[in-house]
Copies of this chain bind each other. A is one copy, B any other.
Amino acid sequence: MKKPFLLILAILIISQGFSQKVTKEDSTMIKNIYNASLLDGASYDWLDDLSNDIGSRLSGSLGAELAVTYTKEQLEEVGLDKVWLQSVMVPKWTRGIAEYSYIETSPGVTSTTDICALGGSVPTPYGGLKAEVVEVLSFEELAVLGREEIEGKIVFFNRPMQADLIQTMGAYGGAVGQRYSGAKEAAKYGAVGVIIRSMNLRQDDYPHTGTMSYGDTPEHLRIPACAISTNGANYLSATLKLQPNLLFYYTMNCKTHADVQSYNVIGEITGSEYPDKYIVVGGHLDSWDLGDGSHDDGAGCVQSMEVLRILKKLDYKPKHTIRVVLFMNEENGLRGGKKYAAEAKRKNEQHIFALESDAGGFSPRGFSFDVEDAVFKQVKSWEPLFEPYLANWFTRGGSGADIGPLKNEGMVKALAGLKPDSQRYFDYHHAANDTFDAINKRELELGAAAMTSLVYLFDKYIY
């Protein structure tokens, strides 16, 4: 009698082993989660309110504050154990009167182009700025041209996103440096302004804004930075080839103000076994001001809210405390993410897992994990659970900007980011067409369900 018992025990130990095996109960739970999201979800209606009733939510704007109030109320209605606002001071930058620009090929012969100020830019001088244009593809090219060729001119950074990269985030990473640091670099050589080709893989008329930095450039040397649509960039480039001494005119009325009071919105379901260990799921509540921020990152916010709503709805009692955090100011400061991490550190809130959705509300393909080997091995064993939902692409990589500070503070063990299909993301990213009509209800809901399923598994199996 003893030997079979030991054998069974050994098999049990091996099979549970280092990573616990998922059960039939898990696949049933995940099916229930998907049904709750697809048949009776709240995410789409929440996003409708956020996008169509409130609209854009740039840090420090009225929209941002209305979004704080609205999402707090909605989380309260879900019946979480605790909902509160976490105070955070945020930068305030305003676009002012709409930008205007044209290309002048000879006196009085002009064609207008589609531009927008980059977030954080200084304005043009009153009445606008007109100068010759030098087109470059890189900072290296800029350095070769030097002060002699650059001084007094506008530098036009026209490096396109690489279309042959399958994952568009990689293409963004390879091109966004010119947006972020173009003005700083060009100012070194005496440029009077910069025009940046929009971070967009599509050819269209939308200029795409986004954050930029002057670094340590002295204030009086800071030059106005705008983005031009991809169509506009192609047109400007082609016209420059015909007439290198054309003039570009633009006027921008943007302004940086003093920091203002804002908030992260936080809600939680208290853990039944480990109330002082946390799982956090979130997105960022702020958005750029041109569209209504439906994909970036209204989608991530409502999906994160939906995670807790579904768990409540299914009457799941988490072992750990599960928090939703809607971070303020990801776009131009990351103050919300930093504040949340600093507070977690101050209170010694140990997080076992942090999950962010900030790559658009598109059809989910899987998750990117920033975890140690042992955890990744366990996570990989969950892939089959996500196969019926076609969200089983589990890879290693980055997670999300807002949860990054939690890692930097050493307050989280495992991080992940939702990986939606990335092909259309940069069609909308930071542009006026990032609006609710670009959201597909099912795609949004599938993302929320995948996130909820992952949070459930971390709560159940990871300690």
CA distance A419 to B111 in the complex (A): 44
**Assembled-state Cα–Cα distance A443/B425 (Å):** 12
Q: Does A112 contact B (CB under 8 A)?
A: no
Q: Given B38, B39, B166, B446, which contacts A446 in the complex, CB threshold below 8 Å?
A: B166
The answer to whether B363 and A421 have CB atoms under 8 Å apart is: yes
Complex contacts, A421 vs chain B, CB 8 Å: 363, 421
Choose, from A116-124, A233-241, A272-280, A387-395, the stretch at the interface: A387-395
Identify which of B365, B388, B423 contacts A166 (C-beta below 8 A).
Answer: B388
CB neighbours of A201 from chain B (8 A): 442
A424 to B202, CA, bound (A): 20
Complexed CA–CA distance, A163 and B424 (Å)? 23
Contact yes or no, B440 A427, CB < 8 A? yes
Residue of B nearest to A387 (CB): B393
Q: Which residues of B contact A167 (CB under 8 A)?
A: 390
- Contact across chains for A164 and B39 when beta carbons are under 8 A apart: yes
Bound complex: CA A38 to CA B166 (Å): 9
Nearest chain B CB to A390 CB, angstrom units = 6
Choice from B35, B166, B440 contacting A424 with Cβ under 8 Å:
B440
Separation of A201 and B38 alpha carbons in the complex (Å): 11
Distance (whole angstroms) from the CB of A205 to the closest CB of chain B: 13
Q: Is A34 an interface residue (CB 8 A)?
A: yes
Check if A396 is an interface residue, CB within 8 A of chain B.
no
How far is A170 from B201 in the complex, measured between Cα atoms in Å?
33
**Docked complex Cα distance between A389 and B167 (Å):** 8
